[in-house]
Amino acid sequence: MAQPDSKKIFFENLSGAGKAIAVLTSGGDAQGMNAAVRAVVRMGLYVGAKVYFIHEGYQGMVDGGDNIKEASWESVSSMLQVGGTVIGSARCKEFRTHEGRLKAAHNLVQRGITNLCVIGGDGSLTGANLFREEWSELLGELVKKGMLSLSLSKYSALHIVGMVGSIDNDFCGTDMTIGTDSALHRIIEVVDAIMTTAQSHQRTFVLEVMGRHCGYLALVSALACGADWVLIPEMPPEDGWEDKMCQKLSATRSRGTRLNIIIVAEGALDRHGKPITSSYVKDLVVKCLGFDTRVTILGHVQRGGTPSAFDRILASRMGVEAVLALLETTANTPACVVSLYGNQSVRLPLMECVQMTQEVQKAMDEKRFEEAVKLRGRSFENNLKTYKLLAHRKPESELNFNVAVLNVGAPAAGMNAAVRSAVRVGISEGHKMFAVSDGFEGFYKGQIKEIKWADVGGWTGQGGSLLGTKRTLPAKHLEKIAEQMRKHNINALLVIGGFEAFLSLLELLTARGKYDEFCVPMVMVPATVSNNVPGSDLSIGADTALNAITTTCDRIKQSASGTKRRVFIIETMGGYCGYLASVGGLAAGADAVYIYEEPFDIKDLQANVEHLTEKMKTTIQRGLVLRNENSNDNYTTDFIYQLYSEEGRGVFDCRKNVLGHMQQGGAPSPFDRNFGTKISAKAMQWISKKLVETFRNGRVFANTEDSCCLLGMRRRALVFQPVVQLKDETDFVHRIPKEQWWLKLRPLMKILAKYKTSYDVSDSGQLEHVVRLRPTELEASVAM
């Protein structure tokens, strides 16, 4: 494993001794808030600070008393998987008054609290900033009134850090707010269920989702389920939209589709500011088309349920980052909000984000809709463009080139969404699309056929690989594959798959010297549950697998509820890559995770057992240990199970579970559907560009390194990288990248499990600005 860089900063220099941090949740609740509260409490205690809960949001701060309680390590146990917020949230009119804030200041300063971590929406965070600005004045007033002794007036500065908890994802400056991904899970679960009944009866369903001022949930769920029509407040439909929508629904039915889905944001408006309700849309469809139509209003279902793996990880990272920000803050540091950008946590000035969020609403009020979409951010804009590209069939244009798409390697949820996106974007760009069944095995056998727009309808929500996928590499069948490419005049290749897909592209690149047929643009989109493809921080399918692991771990832990103390040893997939085990462990609240990338020996195992035994004696009832399947040849899952069983005798008993292929199955998560859709659309646009560039003298000829690429997520950007350049970054023996970003999350997991460790904060501490966060043309958000 790579040794830590001497330039890296570790947070041991940052001490919380003598500091008091309070955490509160305010405004509407959101799944994942509890994970954020847990992370703030445990990180705060870890650095030596006192940590307090403020129950019932700002109301609890104003009322004081038992609403402000000191938190302990144990007080946040078993809350990671709980939805909503266990410390309560309430709207508070009194805090909006000067008198209310005076009471709140008095209650805080009596306990020495001068550091506030606020989890809420833009209203809650704006209130916190006003409180911070008035703080010294409020303290002066309390001293004058004799309510505060001069000795306590030393707490002259209040430090604020915000985390955005909102299912609407309506806050500018962050790709995803805490709770949004879980809300999308609830919506997609309902849509998937509705689709089966709608198909049975040939019905049209109008679904109303939350989003009074922001259409993110409606837009992304429409992308994730392939809805026929979507109505959002940021982009009201043009006049005459009613006829266009009915024509679209009618055309879809005439092609043999048995159902239609229309998604309406609760705040949807027309161009004149008149609300478009779900009942109005239903009546319109019935009147114009006579279709059997039903309305489903999802309501508060979207706020409920357990948080998704993404929200747990996001909230845990944000909570730790918030504590670090509070430790580093000075009297002159502006209040900041901890945000997600790409797969990185960043700090942004709170009021810059609030002002940008308010500008969006102002643009919408003034009917500057194009500007409102841009102000929402590149992620929102990309989602809207991609939806328009895929949902509305373009007129048949002159067919320019033949493009083949295939899946290679093990199946991964989201592959079908990627294929659908590629096929429809390809047809929109004027190409003839060919589907290859069973990967390169099907390629050399000639299992190639043209695939049309309607052929991929309904593919987005399907798990596995509908095209069929095999691990066969092309090297032994180059002659036959070249012959098939000649026969079908294939001008470009889009390969969707895992490590085998990467190896396949390297083999085809090498074969270019012998076969001109491979001198065509080739691009790979990473899709594997193991997330072990070099050149990309994330792969299609990994999020679905993480959710499967997290949900199963929740159920396994719950199975021991009310029984004697028990430790579960769980084996995950991933080959030699410890991504699923490590990140799954963070999301499920594991006590220890064993992976290949971080070698361990019998002393480490013994130390872990002793640590867990100590915790079991005093605090927790259930323990969770994850092991990656290839983490060690000798310390197998059975060995670890037997070791823990023996050493924990008298304190806890053990059970073991091998999760196996259930991690590869199931319907894709909203994240994987959208990541697959967007990354594949971008890959097809790159292919179109390369085909034009390399078309000379009546044929396509591409033999440069940059015509055989992998499209991957790198930190904050989607980047095309020549596969040959990725060879040096790859450990081919163990089929993993030499450097993996998620290893930085392992210390975070250990800290939250009460281990002493070093946490690299070299990426933290930089206060950025919202305007600087506008990505370049090549960049795109990893969040949906």
Give me the active site residues, please.
Answer: 168
- Identify which of 346, 388, 342 has the alpha carbon closest to the alpha carbon of residue 776: 342
On the 0-12 / 13-18 / 19+ scale of CB atoms within 10 A, 239 is exposed
CA–CA distance, 682 with 429 (Å, rounded to integer): 12
Q: Do 412 and 525 form a contact (C-beta atoms < 8 A)?
A: no
Sequence-separated (6 or more) residues with CB below 8 Å from residue 363: 369, 371, 372, 375
Q: Do 81 and 307 form a contact (C-beta atoms < 8 A)?
A: yes
3-state secondary structure of 406: strand
Residue type, position 661, single letter: H
Sequence-separated (6 or more) residues with CB below 8 Å from residue 597: 1, 576, 577, 578, 736, 740, 743
CA–CA distance, 164 with 314 (Å, rounded to integer): 11
- Pairing between strand 68-70 and 50-54? antiparallel
Q: Do 219 and 384 form a contact (C-beta atoms < 8 A)?
A: yes
3-state secondary structure of 622: strand
- The whole-angstrom distance between residue 272's C-alpha and the CA centroid of its chain comes to 35
Place of tokens 């705060």: 44
CA–CA distance, 568 with 591 (Å, rounded to integer): 10
The sign of the CA dihedral 309, 310, 313, 314 is negative
Sequence-separated (6 or more) residues with CB below 8 Å from residue 468: 407, 437, 438, 439, 442
Q: Encoding tokens for residue 603?
A: 């002393």
CA–CA distance, 528 with 532 (Å, rounded to integer): 8
CA–CA distance, 493 with 511 (Å, rounded to integer): 15
DSSP H or E segment with residue 194 = helix 180-201
